[in-house]
Structure 1
């Protein structure tokens, strides 16, 4: 499960990388978590960033509270489950990021946080789907989730799943409403491990309120002084 990611880039960098306009300001984010309002590019508006909440309510379910939302969907069943099939067919999105976090279990009660990035630590995008639903006040909310797949060799040492990272070539195809289901499914595979790097980070990332550059700094697992249990 992908529960945290980072977007440590400026508005200008995002606009240049994705060739899309962002209305309003944007500040780098270091410790992004579910339920937060975040930038995405949708199949309906690929040239302009939208801000959706991370955590999706299936289109058949009305007025679900935040606690019942989902944050990930498995690629193995994305075109089969009734809760995701419609979004997969009609409402796909790109989720900009420059890294994501996973926790490696050490013993029964301890976990070590790791950060994963591309080799150049540049921007990339997760494959996502989005949904529109009515909240308890009758207001329309827009939400998204991240697709996950089997881990590559790098992530496998830490966790059993990883988010789907799209290549630049596949980003336009992912948003294109005319891309066939067969071609879409071919994109949903583990990213090349040789093109990524990973390193352990401070347990500061375990707390959502720690949205500062310090959570991205490399930290030896042996220097974490047993604070792994802050997470979970």
Structure 2
């Protein structure tokens, strides 16, 4: 499951990388969490950034057990499940990011947070699907899910799943409304191990209230007792 990611680049960097226009102000984000409103690029509007809720709106997000189930979709079955099939066929999106977080379990209580990035710390995009619905007050809301797949060798040491990361050429195909199902499914693979790296970060990332540059800063790994160590 991918439950937290970062987008620490500037508005100008985002517009340059994705060749899309952002009409609203954007501040770098270091600890993006479910239910928050964040930029995406949809197949309906590939030349501009839209702002959608990740998984659920804040109101629905109060139901934590539900919200945790509705932030990701498995790439292996997204084209078959009734709840996702229509979105996979018609409403695909890119979720810009520059890193994501997972936690390594040490003992029964300790979890060490890790950040995963591309080797050059470049911007990239997760493969996602989105949905539109009407709230009880009659307002239109948009939400998205991140697709996950089996992990590569970098991620598998920490977690059994990883988000689907697309390269630049794959991004265009993912947003192509006329792409075949076979071509789309072929994109949903683990990102090449040699192009990624990971490192431990501060436990500040554990709280969604924290959203500062210190969260993505590399720190020394800690052992299960919370002591700093030279060994990762």
Contact persistence 1:202–1:224 (CA under 8 A): no
1:57-104, Cα deviation, whole Å (9 max, x unpaired): 9xxxxxx93333410000111011000000000000000000000001
Structure 2, unaligned runs of 5 or more: 228-232
Q: Distance in 2 between matches of 1:141 and 1:224?
A: 42
Where does the alignment leave 5 or more consecutive residues of structure 1 unmatched? 58-63, 228-232
Taking the aligned partners of 2:137 and 2:60, their CA distance within structure 1 comes to 12
Q: Match of 1:230?
A: none
Shift in Å at residue 160 of structure 1? 0.4
Match of 1:65 in 2: 60
Structure 1 residues 23, 225: CA separation in 2 closer, same or farther (over 3 Å shift)?
A: farther
Other-structure match for 2:157 = 157
Which digits, 9 at most, give the CA deviation of each residue in 1:179-201, with x for residues without a partner? 00000000000000100010011
Distance 2:215 2:15 in 1: 25
Equivalent residue for 2:95?
95
User: Is the contact made by 2:100 and 2:117 (CA closer than 8 Å) also made in structure 1?
Assistant: yes
What corresponds to 1:187 in structure 2? 187
Output one character per residue of 1:2-51: Cα deviation in whole Å (capped at 9) or x when no partner: 00000000000000000000002111000000000000000000000000
Compute the displacement of 1:136 (Å). 2.2
Q: Secondary structure at the match of 1:170?
A: helix
Is 2:170 aligned against 1:170?
A: yes
How far, CA to CA, are the matches of 1:163 and 1:10 in structure 2?
Answer: 22
**Equivalent residue of 1:47, what SS?**
coil
TM-align CA RMSD:
1.6
1:131 match: 131
Other-structure match for 2:28: 28
Matched, 1:78 2:78: yes
Distance (whole Å) between structure 1 residues aligned to residue 190 and residue 56 of structure 2: 23
Asked if 1:55 corresponds to 2:58, the answer is: no
Q: Which residue of 2 aligns with 1:60?
A: none
Do the aligned residues in 2 keep the contact of 1:5 with 1:97 (CA within 8 Å)?
Answer: yes
Residues 41-52 of structure 1 correspond to what in structure 2 (within 5 A)? 41-52=41-52
Provide the C-alpha distance between the structure 2 equivalents of 1:171 and 1:76, rounded to a whole number of angstroms. 18
Q: Report deviation, 1:225.
A: 5.8
CA positional deviation for 1:109: 1.4
The equivalent of 2:122 in structure 1 is 122
* Superposition TM-score, scaled by structure 2 size: 0.92
